[in-house]
Structures are given as C-alpha cells and as structure tokens.
Structure 1
C-alpha cells in the first residue's frame, strides 16, 4: 500500500484519499466507475456518465500544519504514558475531503479520509487534480491511466515513495514527461 498524491494505491485498487475499512467512508476508482464506499454513501457512478471529478477541502502541507501534527503526537504520547490503564485516548478522526462527481444525473459529493496527516504538497495536489481531470477525458484515457496506476500498485513493495518519486509518478500518469511538465 502506498500514497501517491491524493491517491492510496493498495495492490491493484486505487482510492481517493485513504483506503476505507469497515463502515468508514471512501472512494475507489474502478474500471467501471467511481465507487463510493462506507455507511450512507454506497454507490457507483459509471465513467460514461462522469463529466468531472474533483476533490475539495484538501489540506495543503504547511509549516503550521506540520507543527500541529508534531504537537498532537507529543501530547498523545504524554497522555498515554500518564493516564491510568483503561482510560485510553479519545481518538481524533483524520480530516475529511469532499470528492465531487459531476454526472449526467446531477452532482454528487462523497467523503473520503485524508491519508496525509500533515497535508499534501501543493505540487502533488495540483498534479492529482490534473490526473482526476484526465480520468474523465474518455474511456480509453481512463482505462489506460487506471491500468498504469493499478499495475504500479501491484508491483510496488514497501511504503509510500518519497516526494520526488510521487510527483514523477503523477506526472507520468497525467501523460507528461518530467522535463515537459508545466506544473509547479
């Protein structure tokens, strides 16, 4: 499993945001369409009906966000060490993003958990938005792009790649070369 931009790729499955478990909300990009998962938002939006696919409320990495994450981890560690057994911590849920599908039958908004605790880099956000737009360009483009992402996920071993490699993968999947990308 690995995070690349706004995507979580687990073996051959591609998710927007974190891969959901149980009844948690999530969005999977499947060959047949955009699959919404979780309690209260299960469904399928066929690619042939999808006109646009966007993500809003994406946390962008900043120094303040990183400091906040470090502070939360430190406070959580201190609490776990000092509270008597049985009290445990009240877990803080990860942030949510809104995945929006514009289709022939209207606009739909689904929720997905953010996978990056400190937020995503601006470049990865921009490249991810470009990739989402590319998925709606037509069946051949969508199938080729999703197949490349899935193939990479099946072949990849280990955690998430480093930032430069993630950006390179996103550029490749968008269909731009590293040297020719006008992206930031």
Structure 2
C-alpha cells in the first residue's frame, strides 16, 4: 500500500484519500466508476455518467501543520503518562477529511474521504492529483489505461509511500497517459 498524491493505492485498489476500514467513509475508483463507501454514503457513479471529478479541502503541508502534529502526539503521550481522565483523548479525534465532488447528469454529489497524509499534501501533489482526477473523466480509454497503470504500480509497490519527487513523477506520468 502506498500514498501517491491524494491517492491511496493498496493491492491494486485505488482510493481518493485514505483507504476506508469498516464503516469509515471513503471513495474508491474502479474500472466501473466512482464508488462511495462507508456510513452515510454509498453508491456507484458509472464513468459514462461522470462529467467532473474534483477534490476540495485537501490540507496543504506546512511547517505549522507539522508542528501541530508533533504537538498532538506529545500532548497525547503526556496525558497517557499522567493518566488524566479529565482531558479529552486526542487519539479518538477523527482525522481530517476531504470532499470528493462527483458531477453527473443527476447533479453534483459530495462524498467524504479521510485524509491519508497526517501532515497534509504538497501543493504540487494536490494540483497534479486534481489534474489526474479531471483526466479520468475524459473518456473510457483514458480512464481505463490510467487506472490500470495506477493499480499495476500499486500491486508492484509494497514498501509504503515513496519520496516526494517519485510521487510527483508518477502523478505526471499518469496525467500524461
């Protein structure tokens, strides 16, 4: 499993945002269409009906976000060490989400997916991911070859997420398919 831009690719499955577990919300991209997963959202939006695919609220990586993540971990560790029952447990806080917009003849649909990058995404990866999502709606052949390339890469890659430069290279390659 690995994260490339806004995508989580696990064993050939491609998700926007984090891969959902149990009843958590998520969005999976399949050869048939966009699949809404999890509590409160379900359904399949066939590619032939998808006119646009967008993402909003993707957090941009910043120094402040990194410091905040470290602070939250430190605070959680201190609270556990002190066994303070009066302070809320930060580990149970829900992770941030992003909104995946699916435009069909029936209208605009907003789906929720959890953010996979704890510290946010680089602006370049967000921009390339948005371009890739747009590219997937350009036609069946483009969508099929692009998703197949992403899934193939995911099946071959087992060592976690690659470095930023490699992720950007992959996104550019997939956008140019």
Q: TM-score range by the shorter chain?
A: over 0.9
Q: SS state of the match for residue 164, structure 1?
A: helix
Q: How many pairs are equivalent?
A: 175
CA contact (8 A) 1:16 1:29 kept: yes
Per the normalisation by structure 2, the TM-score is 0.95
Shift of residue 157 of structure 1? 1.6
Shift of residue 79 of structure 1? 1.3
Tell me the distance in 1 between the aligned counterparts of 2:147 and 2:169: 16
Q: Which residue in the other structure is 2:72 paired with? A: 72
Per the normalisation by structure 1, the TM-score is 0.91
Tell me the distance in 2 between the aligned counterparts of 1:47 and 1:12: 18
How large is the RMSD of aligned CA atoms in angstroms?
A: 1.5
Segments of structure 2 that go 5 or more residues without pairing to the other structure are: none
Tell me the distance in 1 between the aligned counterparts of 2:156 and 2:169: 16
Q: What is the correspondence of 1:161-176 to structure 2 with a 5 Å cutoff?
A: 161-175=162-176
Shift of residue 66 of structure 1? 1.0
2:29 is the alignment partner of 1:21: no
CA contact (8 A) 1:96 1:111 kept: yes
Q: Which residue in the other structure is 2:153 paired with? A: 152
Q: Deviations over 1:9-57 (max 9, x none)?
A: 0011000000000110000000000000001101000000000000001
